[in-house]
Structure 1
């Protein structure tokens, strides 16, 4: 999974929509059908699985046919047991049936699928997802048996003799899914578009600082692709992903793995995977459980203005705007404006970005908010943005700002942009425009009583392409630090 830094916020469907998606997934719907099909005469083994003789009947109950019918029925039964849709009590040994190791009854959670809340349904689906992810991290049993010399050795499996580390395999799959989640929620990523399987495999294998991958690395990527191909085929029925498998025609020999694609035209033949809305919900739940910061758009809508402005500080621009929009729409314009302005005050390093997001939020409130903006016209931290809002909304009698206020607002705005975007092209253009429009900008700017004055002037020195002007900015930054003793 990703490191401990906060992840970009994910946009989730409503729980009602997600619960409908969960109920319609092939695996959970089959598990529910088997739970209703089962009864006191259903026989299970010591592990709670259906005995072999019962599997054809279970497959028939599910309407499954073909070579994989029994395997799908067995998997659905395992999910029914693990999610509490069926319960197995210990056998008392008095019924004369040596083949059965317990009595099967419908579990209490089965009723929740039909009559529970969407949250209840999603809780059951998450338990099903855990089961499938655990299965996906286990190698194909036939391959394991071959490795130890056939089925006769199945009772004495020694994992140390196999090329398989259960913990490492689970961590690898978690890492792949974490990367897929990150690609999905990052604004610059593919979003809802499918991700090529080779790219996903390479994200786990190829070092970020490697130029041309070596043959050994390419072989590792190819091997990872084939493992992921098997795993995503297992994960699709539970609704985590939509998956287009690797084209079997690419396999020249059944024992060979396909090489990585040589161009973009054939990349889809090497597998394409997309995280579903339900998958985004499921992976976020797992990330939260693992202790990661995985915010969701909308979770700040019921909190105070201070939580909104602080919480959106690390959000990408579009996500911050969406979060702010939901917050504003739940409040009366005048109350929202007053709360936002109060939360925007401060001299700390995060304050400029709070004020920037406050401006974004204020742009969404209506004319009813005008009294709140007029109340802060004399506030040294808020008077500038108040005048901007009043002017943009066509309000009359807006007092002209003093030159000191103009400079303070300029420093505050650049400080916010630096915090939000770093040395972006947009900020570079803003810096160039300021220097061009105001020839004496740096002469006056170093005197501005703002905590970020020196940092802003240093940034302007880095960003401006004209060496003479950049030098002026650095000199002004030095004067600002000398003035403030920092």
Structure 2
């Protein structure tokens, strides 16, 4: 069993994994063939002769761990039964990835700046990086935050030391050369946010994410270990009620892909009927959003179905009205003020549940009075949203207005502040 699966089977990180998107095998094979380290390991095996003694360095240790070579009379010789791996780039890549943890001592012997203890730490380091990036896929992770996550996960102290940072960079470099991760650079706004979260004035601007072939390999390892590691499309036969809980913590790209797959497994009319029934029964704003996304994938029949839901009025009628207006299916002049207020508030509540409402606040026009909209909506989540606006709105005047409006609502309704509630408020998400 792979190092990752041995360490994490049954661990707390695995039960709530979001579904991942797996690329076609042909695309994965091309990615494997482009790996720089794949050629290096093939070259090491091809270059073996009667003088090839194991030197303990990276390629020597890795080729042996992968079963490509073995020691015979003190010399490295090819393992004949595994020779076919050298001709299959995808299988060879997967074998190298699953045994990469055993290459740490080889790195330490080649790099004087890497302590020998790194060899013992390396398998855990690779596992922690892989699972952290896998669970955030497809959203890149700032390497500055990765340093802190790894320091905490590996019990190396709260603040990552310089040796931890260097060991992480070395590990990321090796994973990059293998083709398991890709790097990007944060823009100015993203870098400022990283600095704020990390509490560092000059954080690294590097963002890291898994490549599609690494997502595929990790998913295979987890599934083989009996861990619930869903793939987009696995739940296509489930009802929207069963599917929705798995989408709450997923990235927008994953939500869209999963709902598209769900619709494709039904006729457009059948999907529209199921989505509209779920829309009517939904208790949470994010569930109503998922239902509307599914309706949007059914084409014209989805628009017709939503128009019927609108006539029912109330919260779902307002939500349907705003959705139809956004798609140009009805004229904006036909939307009532109550539909606008209630429909927009429900959308904000859905974004809050999905962790995107704070970002929306930063992008709102200066003239948009969100406090008045939320206060007058009568929406069940308006108090939660006002509390967020009061803390997170970039305009201090608007934030103060939201806090005042929240206080008035709590006083008039006899509601305690969120910090004093005994229930499990969704504000904690």
TM-score normalised by the shorter chain: which range applies? 0.5 to 0.7
Q: Take 1:384 and 1:293, find their aligned partners in 2: how far apart are those partners? A: 38
Distance change in 2, residues 1:169/1:426 (3 Å): closer
Equivalent of 2:258 in 323, 331, 340: 323
Q: Give the aligned partner of residue 289 of structure 2.
A: 356
Deviations 1:193-248 (A, max 9, x none): xx7xx9976764598974xx8xxx3245446656x49x938x956x64689xxxxx
Give, in whole Å, the separation in 2 of the partners of 1:345 and 1:127: 49
Distance 1:412 1:219 in 2: 48
CA contact (8 A) 1:352 1:412 kept: yes
Q: Does 1:420 find its partner at 2:354?
A: yes
The 5-angstrom pairing of residues 9-408 of structure 1 reads: 10-19=20-29, 21=31, 63-64=46-47, 79-80=66-67, 126-127=94-95, 129-130=97-98, 132-138=99-105, 168-179=121-132, 181=134, 185-189=137-141, 204-205=150-151, 210=159, 217-219=161-163, 221-222=165-166, 228=171, 232=174, 240=180, 275-287=210-222, 296-301=231-236, 303-329=238-264, 331-346=266-281, 348=283, 351-376=284-309, 377-378=311-312, 380-393=314-327, 395=329, 407-408=341-342
State the 1:317 CA deviation: 2.5
Equivalence map 1:397-476=2 (5 Å):
407-421=341-355, 424-427=358-361, 435=369, 442=375, 444-445=376-377, 448=378, 450-463=379-392, 465-466=396-397, 467-468=400-401, 470-476=403-409
Report SS of the residue matched to 2:247: helix
Q: Post-superposition shift, 1:4?
A: 1.6
RMSD (Å) for aligned C-alpha atoms = 5.7
Distance 2:313 2:288 in 1: 13
TM-score normalised by length of structure 2:
0.60
User: Matched residues in 2 for 1:432 and 1:354: separation?
Assistant: 30
Residue-by-residue CA offset, 1:240-259 (whole Å, 9 max, x unaligned): 4689xxxxxxxxxxxxxxxx
Separation of aligned partners in 2, 1:204 and 1:379: 51
Q: CA deviation at 1:355?
A: 1.3
Q: Quick one: distance in 2 between partners of 1:436 and 1:178?
A: 38
1:176–1:204: 8 Å Cα contact kept in structure 2?
yes
**Alpha-carbon contact 1:4-1:292 (below 8 Å) kept:** no
Change (3 A) 1:409 1:139: same
Structure 1 position 384, deviation (Å): 1.8
Shift of 1:378: 0.8
Give the TM-score, by structure 1 length.
0.55
Q: Is the 8 A contact 1:297 1:323 kept in 2?
A: yes
Q: 1:105 to 1:4 in 2, by over 3 A?
A: closer
Change (3 A) 1:163 1:380: same
